[in-house]
Amino acid sequence: MLNQLIVDMRSQLAKAKQQVAAAIADEKRLSAQVDTEKKSAEDWERRAVLAVQEGRDDLAKQALLRHNEHAQGAVQLHETWIKHREETEKLKLSLRQLNDRIEEAKRKKNILIARQKRAEAHKRIQETMSSIGDKSVFETFERMTEQIEHEERKLIAAAEVNEDLSGDTLVKQFQSLEVKADADEQLLDLKRKLDDDEAPPEPHR
């Protein structure tokens, strides 16, 4: 994008150069017209002098009218040329400023690209943080966790039921009794051992 901006600025610079060149050409044309009018005024004034010298006052008057006409035209053109020259100088200044801006943009392009990437990364981070802060996401996660735990409990209960109801129940009942009998026998052995430990020793003869 920055490269395209520089390309666009260069295109503007090229157009500005054309405008300045055209303005300079117009300035030179006006200056030449001023000189032409001044020369014509001088020529008619010289002719008026010649007519007076020859005793032709009628021609002298006509020559003076032409002289005044060209002299007035020279003044008006000179004023126009002055204004146009000022505008041309402003255009030249704008052209130099635009050129300086383009050169500055070229120098700072890499810095601007780095800043743009940083801004984009910051935006992505903010979007991620916003999505993390969304409570609905955590609530959905909690519901899924509870559902999974419920299914696990159901599977455990089903396994216990299958274990209790499978096989020969009579055999299982006797196995339970045998386990209980073994525990009772171990308890009696423990009590006898404790009684033997607490009995007083026999006296020596």
The neighbour count for residue 48, using CB atoms within 10 Å, is: 21
Tell me the pLDDT band of 64, cut-offs 50, 70 and 90: very high
Asked if pLDDT for residue 25 goes beyond 80, the answer is yes
- CA–CA distance, 5 with 104 (Å, rounded to integer): 13
Q: Where are the alpha helices (DSSP H) in the chain?
A: 2-53, 57-132, 135-165, 169-198
Asked if pLDDT for residue 48 goes beyond 90, the answer is yes
pLDDT at residue 132, rounded to an integer:
61
Asked if pLDDT for residue 175 goes beyond 70, the answer is no
Asked if pLDDT for residue 205 goes beyond 80, the answer is no
pLDDT at residue 32, rounded to an integer:
94
Of the chain, the percentage scoring pLDDT greater than 90 comes to 28
pLDDT at residue 200, rounded to an integer:
62
Query: 143 to each of 140, 148, 168, how far by Cα in Å?
Result: 5, 9, 41
Of 33, 22, 37, 35, the residue nearest 87 (C-alpha)? 22
Query: 51 to each of 15, 64, 145, 177, 200, how far by Cα in Å?
Result: 54, 10, 119, 160, 175
**Least confident range of 22-31, 85-94, 134-143:** 134-143
Asked if pLDDT for residue 136 goes beyond 70, the answer is no
pLDDT at residue 161, rounded to an integer:
61
| Section 5-12 average pLDDT | 80
pLDDT at residue 128, rounded to an integer:
73
